[in-house]
Amino acid sequence: LVGEAYAGASLEALAPLAGRSLPALRTIAFQGRLTDARTGDKPNGLAKGMAISGMRVTTPAGDVTGDLSLTLGNPPLGKPPVGTPLAVTADLRSDRLDLDALMASLSGAGNGSGASNGSNAGASGTSAGPTGSARQAPARRAARSDWLIPDTPIPFDALLAANADARLRLAALRHGGSDYKDVDAHLVLRDGKLRLDPMVAEAEGGRIAITLTVDANQKSPTGHLTARAPNLDASAVVAALGAPGT
């Protein structure tokens, strides 16, 4: 199946069909060839997965081109060899990607109904204040933000639910208010063992090189992270992590 689609109106208009809120993304163009999942030369049908080749997606926030495949696993999942994990392969490129603009659009989807209710309340002269849980949420977030590295448990078990081989190359990336160039990342996840190598980028303060390995098969999962950025301004990194006082 060869497909081409263009959306000039906001995706929010499709929310009733999707049964959930959708981001206010506009001017989206998509091209690509869609095929079903296959085992060798044998087709398995779209219910088992799909592959998109020759994909090109363009939005005001940037563009993505390349190939992507997804093969659904079979429960029950757990430590190998129990069950069959989800399998993902991707080889993607981008000339420009503004993650800040994209995430702002995506986060707006979850707030759409709230914004509508607020405007209706304002029209009737009644102020719509936050609920008790909403008022408490900032306080809880503030308590956790005292730590540069939070004590939030890491869901290592999620690494057992999928296998992946993904390559991502970005000519220009904007994230957290900072600009990066020549981003190159290769992630391999197989049987609970993750390796990110390489992960390199040119930042405003110099070159960044990161490698990461994680093994989720052990009772106490282990990981190893190496980051090299000899010319990078450390204060910019701390600010990007949202540390207190920055």
pLDDT in tens, 62-121: 999 999 998 887 655 555 555 678 899 999 999 999 999 888 877 754 454 444 444 444
Say if residue 16 is preceded by a cis peptide, omega within 30 of 0: no
Closest CA to 12 of 114, 117, 105: 105
What would the pLDDT profile of 131-186 be if each residue is shown by its tens digit? Answer: 444 444 444 444 445 665 667 788 888 898 899 999 999 999 999 888 999 999 99
Q: Higher-confidence residue: 171 or 39? A: 171
Host H or E run for residue 130: none
Q: What is the largest CA-CA distance in the chain?
A: 65
Helices 112-123 and 99-110, interaxial angle, to 10°? 60
pLDDT over 70 (residue 126): no
Residue 84 CA to its chain's centroid (Å): 23
Contact 182, 168 (CB under 8 A): no
Closest CA to 198 of 210, 190, 206, 207: 210
pLDDT over 90 (residue 12): no
Cα–Cα distances (Å) from 44 to 32, 50, 118, 209, in that order, read 20, 9, 48, 40
Q: pLDDT over 70 for what percent of the chain?
A: 58
Mean of per-residue pLDDT scores for the chain: 75
Q: Higher-confidence residue: 215 or 44? A: 215
The whole-model pTM stands at 0.69
Give pLDDT, residue 45: 65
Give pLDDT, residue 197: 93
The SS3 of residue 110 is helix
Residue with tokens 């079903």: 36
Give dist(CA 227, CA 75) in Å, integer: 36
Distant-in-sequence contacts of 77-83, Cβ < 8 A, 24+ apart: 77/160, 77/161, 78/160, 79/160, 79/192, 79/217, 80/160, 80/191, 80/192, 80/217
